[in-house]
Each structure stands twice: as C-alpha cells, then as structure tokens.
Structure 1
Amino acid sequence: MLEQPEYLTPKQIVAELDKYIIGQHEAKRNVAIALRNRWRRMNAPGDMKREIVPNNILMIGATGVGKTEIARRLAKLADAPFVKVEASKFTEVGYVGRDVESMVRDLAEQAVNMVKMQKRAEVQEKAAEAVEEIILDALIPPVKSKRSQPEGTIGFQVSDSDVELNERTRERFREKLRNGELEDRKIEIEVENNTGGMSIIGGAIDEVSMMNLQEMIGNMMPKKSRKRKIAIAEARRILMEEESSKLIDMDEVKQIALQKAENVGIIFIDEIDKIASSSGKSGGPDVSREGVQRDLLPIVEGSAVNTKYGIINTDHILFIAAGAFHVSKPSDLIPELQGRFPIRVELQSLSQADFYQILKTPKNALTKQYQALLAAEDVELSFTDDALEAIAEVAFAINSEVENIGARRLHTVMSHLLNEFLFEVPDTIPPNSKLVVNREMVQQRLSSLVQNRDLSRYIL
C-alpha cells in the first residue's frame, strides 16, 4: 500500500508558494487545487478512484515570470517524483534524439531514488552498527577463546583473559570512534570494485531492452572486491553505502516507487510552444513538431510505458505544460493535445513593484543569496529600502527597452552591481567589514547599464 504524506490544503499550498514566488495568484490557485485533488482521488471510493483523472495544466507566460519555479516548488511540497523536460529536446519516433517515453522512464528513476533515500534513512541506525563493527574489526581484530573454537582446531590457542582484554580494548576504541577521535586514522577495508558499466554494441535495440540486458549481464558477472587503505571518515561513508544497500529490499523499493510515480508523479513539460506549428505554415520542421505532439498525446492521455523497473501507467500522472507562446498560440497545438490540458493559466508580466518584492520577500531572494556569499567571508552586506527600489527600476527599464526576460534580468543587474565587492573581498575589503548598498551606489554603478542602448552583451 502506498503511504500517503501529509497533504496540505489549497490555501496552505498557496501560502507556501508565496514564500518563494511573487504574484501569479491564479496560477498558484490552480496548481494548489490540482495537488490537493491527488489526495482527494486517493481517498475516493474504490470504483471512482480509477475514473478520476487529473486536470492537466497549461501555463502561458513570458520567460522569467515563474512558470518553472511554481512547478518545482509544487513537487517539493508534494514530496512527489518530479521531472522537468523540455519539449524541444524530443524528436518524432524514427528520428535521432530522445523519444517522449523517456520522460516517464526518468520519472520512474526519480521515484526509485526517492524511495531508496527514505528506506536508507529507515535502516541507517542498523547500518551504522554494522559499519562500526567492521571498522572495529579492522582496528582491533576480535579473538576467540579456546572454548569457543571448534574441536580439533590446530594453532595458537587464546586464553579467556586475552579475550577479555581484547573486548575491553575494543570497547575503548568504540568510545573513541563515537567521539570522533579516530577519523583521520587509516584502516584497510574491502570494498566492492565498481568497474564501469558494460557497453553492448550490436543492431537496433530499444532503450529499455538495452538497460535490462546490461543489468542482467552485470548481475551475472561475479562481484569483485579489493582492499583499500583509507581514513576512517572515508571508510565509514563507503561502508554505510554498502551496508545500507544490503539492508534495503530493492523489490519492495521498485514496487513502492512505481505506485508513487503512477499516483503522485508530476511531469513538467517546458517550452511546449516550441513544438506548436506556427499558424499558416506547413511542411519542413512543422511536420516533425506535429509528430512529437502526436507521440506525446498517448502519454498524456494515459498509456502503459515500459521502464527498467516495470510498467508505469500514465493515467494519473499530473502533466503541467508551459510555454511563452510568443510566435505560436496555444490553438496551434493539435486539437487532441489541447484537450488534454483543460486548465489554462495565463501568467502576468512582472511589474516594477513585483521586482521590488522579489528582491525583498522570498526566502531565496537574490539579496539574501549575495548576503550569504559574503557572510562566508565574514563580511556583512545590507541593502537600504531605496536601493532595492532603484535596482527594481533599472531591471524593469531594461526589460521594457530591450527584451523582457522577467525576473532573470535581476541576476544581470545584481551581478553588475556587486561583482566589484565579490572581487575585492577578502584582499581589499577585509573580514568583519560592513557593506551597505544605497540608492546612490546603485545609480552610480548601474548608470552605464541604463544609458548604454546597445545592451546585447547584458542579455542572458
């Protein structure tokens, strides 16, 4: 049975998204409803559970307005397998390039990794005990008394007092290990020899069959190990990986992961406008674009996709597509595909006030990122309120005059503003210094950026 995480209410989801994304309330509301509907479906009566399909979302908006960030934060809130793909990377079946089914295989891989991490956390304590014993054996090999040895054993016999001394020594070293006193001491351990994956050269073979064949041959090959002399800290890391893997039931992991991918998986298809045929055009690359759409259709509608972990049904995977649609329109997508994205959300272009809030409010605001970078050098960086307003003015002006790349423009402006500080610390600007960015400094440093009409070199 698939364990259900604590699901947030739509209002709670929007409140969490507000911590990172400014504005776009309509988009946040729709994704919050879509996420909550996953929980509602899993708690619906048995017969209806299979019938309820997710309302896939098409987000329309210029670059840098928050489409990708909304989807990324949503996946973290849902604790769900999440894959972001770019529609422009896919090619029609029969052409060289990635086929659309690879997005589902990527989702399966992501789900397996998620479940494996959860299971690893569950067995961590048991694995740590086993690792401790292995390290102790390398430091102080255990000895057995005469009574504990099989009859007829020939060789050096150990007395009970020697065994007792050995035990006391091991316990002292165990204490030192737990206190971290022996981390740099070198020991010799046996580790699995991870040789590179085997390459198979031959005729045409599909991706899944290739992976299965490589895994089968890999399992048939004998596992080799070799001795390495390394520090205890490094040995513990390597041994924890090995011991955790031994304690995890991979068949159970695969089963849970497939259920997780099928029921709560989210696939974000970016740049979907790039595979829409421009109005009034036919032939050439538009034929291939339409082919990708037709390949995409059964995946979004619901089909069985073969992965190396098993078959995944895509009926209840939530698909969120996004595109700027500067050249083409959503109506340029084939009608069948349009019908599979019933929720249309148009994201608004960012205003100057939005830029100000983006610099000030989110948990991961650019200003806070630069403060963290300089804090690593023991330098305190602060921004006055009018400095943030000035930065927002410059970013908005450049977007209006050159090309609107949304919030990404702030990266250009902030980099231009603060690169000199980043270069001077710690040589010219020593640790424990305090740097204050005010409106005058912003205007002085960014005046050339605003006045220069040939801004091509600043466009990201």
Structure 2
Amino acid sequence: MSKNDDYMEVDTKEEEADVIDENVTTDFTYVAENAPTDEQTDDRYEDVCVMCQRPESKAGKMIHMTAEICICNDCMQKTLDTISNTEKDNPNHLGSIFGPNMGGHFPNISMVNLSDLQDMFPQRQKIKKKSKDKNSQPLIDLKDIPAPHKIKAQLDEYVVGQDYAKKVMSVAVYNHYKRVATGTMDDIEIEKSNMLMIGPTGSGKTYLVKTLARLLDVPLAITDATSLTEAGYIGDDIESVVSKLLAAADNDVDKAEHGIIFIDEIDKIAKKKNTNQRDVSGESVQQGMLKLLEGSEVEVPVGATSKNAMVPMTTVDTRNILFICGGAFPDLEDIIKERLNKQSSMGFKADLKDKYDNEENLLQQVTVEDVKNFGMIPEFIGRLPIIFSLEALTEEMLVKILKEPKNAIIKQYQKLLQLDEVDLVFEDEALHAIAKKAKEKEVGARALRSIIEEFMLDIMYEIPKDDNIGRVTITKDYIEKKGGPKIEMRVAGLIE
C-alpha cells in the first residue's frame, strides 16, 4: 500500500482482501505519514477522536489522518468491520458507490483529500493532559497559602462588615487548601469544609466569594441552582456546575480540581411542599448533588454545559473542589420564630410572640434543624458542615460601603470625573440620605448603585459641556430633590 501526501491509494485487489479479511485482527499502532509534526501539535493537550469524541486518555493512542483530524483504534476497527460486512452482504454495493473500477472491494479513497476534511469539522475544545508525574510540584504550595488573619485582612479592604462571615470563610478556606496541598497525613484524611452561606438579598454573599477567589488566584465558577433539573428534563444537568469550573480553568483538569464552585440560590432547590407533580428541580437535584459535594469522579463535557455527541468528554475529580452554597432562604425567619416561640413561657413576665418580629439578624440564630424544616434533605446538609449567616445591612454599614472599600461606588465616580479634571465631593449628610433611601428599598447594597446612577446622570451629562468647572459637591438637598449640587468654577468662584 502506498501513500502520497494526503491521498491513500490501494495498488492491488489482493492487498484489499487482506485488509478486510475477517480472520485478521488489525492493530492500528502506526502513525500516518501525514501525522502532525512537533511544530503542529502541543503536547500539553489531548487528542480527541473525530468520531466518538473520546480523548486519548480514555480511547488510547490516536491515528492522525491530518494535523487536525485523528481517530481512535476502536472507531477505525468498527469502520473496517462495517465495510467488510457490507461487502459480504452486497458485493456490488461499494462498487456502485465508489465507481466501477473498485470491483466491489475496499474502496479506493484516493479521491478524498483528507486536508479538505479539516474545514468540515467545527473547532473543538482542547483538553489539557493530566499530570502523571508523581514527583511533580503541587499546584498549590503550603507556603503560599495565607494565614486566616491575612485572608480576613484582605477581605476587609473590599467588604464592609460581616466580620463573623469573613472569619468563618478565612478559616475554612485555609484548612481546605492545607488539605489539598498536603493530601493525607499519617493516614488521617481531612474532610472537605464545604460551606452553606445564608443571608438576606444584597448582603454580599456573591461579592465575598468573588473577592476570595481573586485573592487566592484560583479558578472560580459561579452558577445558579435555579437552572438545575433532574437528568432527562429541560434545564442544565447537575454536572454542568463542574463544566463551568473547567471552562474557568481553561480546560485544565488539574487546575479545575483545585478550584471553588459557588452555587447561588441554593434555597430554590428545596423540597416543594403541597405539590402533586414530580419534583424535578427540588429534592431530586439535592440527591444528585450529593456525589459532587462529597467527592467523586464526574464525566463532564468540555466547552458546553450539556452532553451531546459532538462535545468531547473528560473526567474531573471533585474531591478537592471547595463548594460554597449560598441563598437568601426567604421565610426561614418564620421557621426560626416558630422554634423560638415554642420555648417562651406563659403567665406574667412571659416572652411575647412578637418579640422577634423586629429582629433584623434573626438568621444568625439558624440551626441545622431549621434548614431541614425549610426543605433541604439531611444528606445534603450533612455535606455542608459549615453553616453561617450574614448580617443584615444597617444604615451605617451602607454608608461605609459607599466610601470605604477600594472599589467603592463613590470612588468610581470620582475617578471618572478626575479624567475630566473635576473634583467630586460628597457631604456626609448626603451619604446618609443615600443610605436611608437604600434601606427603604430592602434589597441591600444593590440599591446603592441605582440611587447614585439616578442623581449622577445629569451631572455626568452636563459637566463635560463646561471646561471651567473645577469641583462638584453633592448635598443632602440634591439627594432629596430639594435643591441642586454646588458647583465651583476654576476662576469665577462658587455658583449656586
């Protein structure tokens, strides 16, 4: 058999018969002459079979048809078996397809230019190879892991308040990555410290996790539990949360296996009460996530959130992935009140039933039993050993959020106006007026941005018109729509 560039020709019919003889076991261990050179391929990535989409770690050595197209031994053997069976059933079938000169034998594929086939296949996601060297350096060095007090100090620069939550997260993350860096110590295996974060909307749950992942420089995947459904129904598979982490790690499996997955709105998969329909997005999702939280090898698609025939698959071990679940858990306060009121006494000087109605931080008294009564199954809660609550934001905390963090909202607007050589100043009374308005909206810190956007619109529109403006001062009257801002000119002085 001779090969010429991208074409393969069969010289004689006797050679063809030898190729498709059913008694011959073919071992495809050779590499075609047109296999990619060292300059054309990257050893860091796995080859993926163009037919079954399995990577070489699962399918074995690949046969390179061109620099971009390769096929595994199994698919090549199945192809030849199919051709052999077709020829036996209908000897003239292949001849009718490939021309009269074929004689009904193994088709001469010299008419097929393999390099042209490359354009017929879409660009595929590349899968990085796993490190097999046991003596290789770990991705996370124990010396590089900051101590809990240093982690909290860094969080303090970006997140206002929530001291208890930041302390819990700092210790949990520190212990987790010590576990990852050292592995087992003296046959004592340290369990994962997955977390369940409960807090009212706008209290900073997602922001805390984002800041934490940025400080630790590890891959982070933020997903929403509301889109997860039981396998076989419309929605994302449970394994899609791991697919997002793999994408965040640039398809590097080793890096993804040391990342953080934050599942928001976890309270939306609670058991549905008083329903006669099948609960495909509640308890069944919790049961499906048990293996992820505890640690297991999961087969996930690369570059997609759902499995299909055109997407390569790879295996990710979730044993060292830190899971942080968060949710607002509405109506959980009523469950806590009911538990606390059962403990109240009767008679004179007894606690009143409405004693806890005005308690803003009632969620901090949450127990595992309260979360269970909310609708989370015991097996799910058991895999989230660290449960903590965030504080409700007070007016003073909202004022600090406006001006103290490194990327505070006020500092962002001041930077924008500095580019126009204009100073932006906020009076303290104006900041308290903004915080008071945000508190009334009951959506936490999210309300601050919308309020500031509203009254800064006219300022950001009018300031660039006049190059003589040097300073703008935001007053309480302007926030309350009783007056306007104070504008100082560079030369002319103060203009009301």
Same fold (TM over 0.5): yes
1:284 maps to a residue whose letter is Q
1:405 maps to a residue whose letter is V
Could you list the runs of 5+ residues in structure 1 that have no partner in the other structure?
114-256, 448-460
Pair 1:85-2:79 in alignment: no
Match of 2:175 in 1: 37
Match of 2:100 in 1: none
Worse-superposed segment, 386-395 or 312-321: 386-395
Pair 1:109-2:152 in alignment: no
Contact 1:89–1:98 (Cα < 8 Å) also in 2: yes
- Which structure: larger Rg? 2
Please point out which of 282, 293, 299 is paired with 2:286: 293
Within 5 A, what are the aligned runs for 1:348-387? 348-387=391-430
2:295 maps to a residue whose letter is G
Worse-superposed segment, 78-87 or 375-384: 375-384
- Whole-Å separation in 2 of the counterparts to 1:285 and 1:374: 55
Match of 1:336 in 2: 379
Contact 1:62–1:324 (Cα < 8 Å) also in 2: yes
Within 5 A, what are the aligned runs for 1:59-74? 59-74=197-212
SS at match of 1:325: coil
Match of 2:437 in 1: 394
Against the structure 1 CA distance between its residues 380 and 324, is the aligned structure 2 distance closer, same or farther, given a 3 Å change threshold?
same
SS at match of 1:96: coil
Against the structure 1 CA distance between its residues 36 and 74, is the aligned structure 2 distance closer, same or farther, given a 3 Å change threshold?
same
* 1:89 Cα offset (Å): 1.1
TM-score (norm 2): 0.56
SS at match of 1:330: helix
Against the structure 1 CA distance between its residues 411 and 315, is the aligned structure 2 distance closer, same or farther, given a 3 Å change threshold?
same
1:302 maps to a residue whose letter is G
* 1:339 Cα offset (Å): 0.7
Match of 2:150 in 1: 12
Match of 2:138 in 1: 2
Against the structure 1 CA distance between its residues 282 and 390, is the aligned structure 2 distance closer, same or farther, given a 3 Å change threshold?
same
Pair 1:417-2:455 in alignment: yes
Against the structure 1 CA distance between its residues 330 and 382, is the aligned structure 2 distance closer, same or farther, given a 3 Å change threshold?
same
**Where does structure 1 differ by over 6 angstroms across 4 or more consecutive aligned residues?**
none
Match of 2:296 in 1: 303
| 1:201-228: CA deviation from partner (whole Å, max 9, x where unpaired) | xxxxxxxxxxxxxxxxxxxxxxxxxxxx
Could you list the runs of 5+ residues in structure 2 that have no partner in the other structure?
1-136, 303-312, 333-369, 485-496
Q: How many percent identity over aligned positions?
A: 39
SS at match of 1:283: coil
* 1:445 Cα offset (Å): 5.7
Contact 2:223–2:263 (Cα < 8 Å) also in 1: yes
Contact 1:22–1:354 (Cα < 8 Å) also in 2: yes
- Whole-Å separation in 2 of the counterparts to 1:26 and 1:446: 41
SS at match of 1:305: strand
1:260 maps to a residue whose letter is K
TM-score (norm 1): 0.60
Against the structure 1 CA distance between its residues 30 and 377, is the aligned structure 2 distance closer, same or farther, given a 3 Å change threshold?
same
Contact 1:273–1:330 (Cα < 8 Å) also in 2: no
| 1:133-187: CA deviation from partner (whole Å, max 9, x where unpaired) | xxxxxxxxxxxxxxxxxxxxxxxxxxxxxxxxxxxxxxxxxxxxxxxxxxxxxxx
Contact 1:90–1:292 (Cα < 8 Å) also in 2: yes
| 1:368-403: CA deviation from partner (whole Å, max 9, x where unpaired) | 11112223333321112222122222222x23xxxx
Pair 1:319-2:323 in alignment: yes
Contact 1:58–1:320 (Cα < 8 Å) also in 2: yes
Against the structure 1 CA distance between its residues 285 and 378, is the aligned structure 2 distance closer, same or farther, given a 3 Å change threshold?
farther
Contact 2:299–2:315 (Cα < 8 Å) also in 1: yes
Please point out which of 247, 262, 267 is paired with 1:268: 262
Against the structure 1 CA distance between its residues 73 and 285, is the aligned structure 2 distance closer, same or farther, given a 3 Å change threshold?
farther
Match of 1:192 in 2: none
1:4 maps to a residue whose letter is I
- Whole-Å separation in 2 of the counterparts to 1:330 and 1:390: 36
- Whole-Å separation in 2 of the counterparts to 1:4 and 1:440: 53
* 1:282 Cα offset (Å): 3.4
SS at match of 2:424: strand
Match of 1:58 in 2: 196
Please point out which of 246, 254, 273 is paired with 1:259: 254
SS at match of 1:426: helix
Worse-superposed segment, 86-95 or 50-59: 50-59
Against the structure 1 CA distance between its residues 2 and 91, is the aligned structure 2 distance closer, same or farther, given a 3 Å change threshold?
same
